[in-house]
Amino acid sequence: MRDQASCYRYTGVMFCPRCHRTYADGETVCSFDGEGLVSGRRIEHLAVRQTQHMGAILAGRYAVQGFLGKGPLARVYLAEDVKTKEPVALKVLDPPWAHDKVARDRFARAAHEAQAISHENLATILAVTARGDGTPIVVMEHLFGETLASYLKRGAMDAEIGLPVLREVAMALEAIHLGGMIHRGLKPENVFLVGEPGDPYAVKVLDVGFGRIRDATVTTNGTVAEGATHMAPEQCVADEVDARTDVYAFGLVMYEVFTGRAAFEGEGDELLARSLVAPHRPVRALVPDIDPNIEAIIDRCLRKDPSLRYATASALRADLEAVAEGAEPDAAQDTAGPVGEVYVPRGSFSRLVARSLYRRVGVSPPSFLA
């Protein structure tokens, strides 16, 4: 694992003390809330939880100031860069992944690849380094606001808020795909709404590429890692993924944005099995007055057959922009809905996994799995 200290970069040098958006040098006023910009953050103003690692210096540079949260793969800490005095977020790979060389290498490689993709809707990776025991550490810009998952706990979004947010997520996916990567793990927890409630949100997408660690855990009995809640059918059975895999995950996120509910019932492996063999609950069943154009976009994203989804994130973004402008999206021309559709695995191993998933929901496998 190479030292990334020389690759340290930070995209904004001016900072809004109210909403924590960053701006280029020379800007003086926040365009969102009119607050005067300053040249540095006040780390003591940031809300964190206590941790036993308070004050520890990681990688010889980052002083831990508190605990921010935990995901299925890693813990995230607030730290101060002792060289720049800026607050940063440290993502530290958790056991058992931290003890697995393959997982460590995948984690570090994904971080290096994501670091090379620069876009305003992607959280900036400042450095990739490691603890003394070799555990990878990803150093990221600290963001102020909340995740989309946190927002949705209070209820669904209306179109005036949801469509702009989703457009920015689609723009992030475009940048990821143009950079030669697949996100693999898009979900509300990985969409960050920058700013305070009531502000026009800026959006940052997190954890680009880290889903490849989770994908590697699919086994012949259909068991996948914790946190794998937004997997496309091809991921569920360990088939190859591409940009359309992220489009499916986007559809699941979009469904939650406008309904406040998950597209499929169940938890864990049962949830993934249903995404493979069962249609999603119609959006209209939960939101009777949903704009049919929004529903059409969701339905196209959630087709089991990848060839029937949007081929690119740019095509998806174009449809979102059409709806926002009061025009009809291309998806409105689809004549066949997703009801009754099932995913057809493409390999011998994926067929084995699919048979197991069918058994989990008590459905007889179709003839193509015999």
pLDDT one-digit tens code per residue, 336-360: 766 668 888 988 999 988 888 888 7
- The token pair that represents 47 in the structure block: 């809300």
pLDDT of residue 219: 43
User: Which fold does the domain 145-369 belong to in CATH?
Assistant: Transferase(Phosphotransferase); domain 1 (1.10.510)
The stretch 322-342 carries a mean pLDDT of: 87
pLDDT exceeds cutoff 90 at 247: yes
User: What residues pair up with 57 in beta bridges, in sequence order?
Assistant: 63
pLDDT in tens, 208-229: 877 666 554 444 444 455 556 7
Q: Of 91-95, 186-190, 314-318, 322-326, which gets the smallest average pLDDT?
A: 91-95
- How many of the other CB atoms lie within 10 Å of CB of 196? 15
pLDDT band at 44; cut points 50, 70, 90: low
What percent helix, strand, coil does the chain show, rounded to 5? 35, 15, 45
pLDDT band at 303; cut points 50, 70, 90: very high
User: Residue 15: which H helix or E strand, with range?
Assistant: strand 14-15
Domain 44-141 carries which CATH code? Answer: 3.30.200.20
The answer to whether 324 and 316 are in contact (CB under 8 A) is no
The contacts found for 60-69 with CB under 8 angstroms, 24 or more apart, are: 61/5, 61/129, 62/88, 62/90, 62/137, 62/139, 64/90
pLDDT exceeds cutoff 60 at 11: no
Residues 241-275, buried b or exposed e (16+ Cβ, 10 A)? bebbbbbbbbbbbbbbbbbebbbbeeeebebbbbb
Residue with tokens 């999206």, as numbered in its chain = 329
pLDDT band at 124; cut points 50, 70, 90: very high
pLDDT band at 304; cut points 50, 70, 90: very high
pLDDT of residue 361: 79
- The token pair that represents 139 in the structure block: 């150093």
* Of residues 50 and 223, more confidently modeled: 50
How much is the mean pLDDT over the chain?
A: 84
Query: Any idea where the domains of the chain sit in the sequence?
Result: 9-40, 44-141, 145-369
Q: DSSP letter string over 207-276?
A: -TTTHHHHHTT--TT----TT--S--HHHHTT----HHHHHHHHHHHHHHHHHSS-SS---HHHHHHHHH
Percent of the chain whose pLDDT exceeds 90: 46
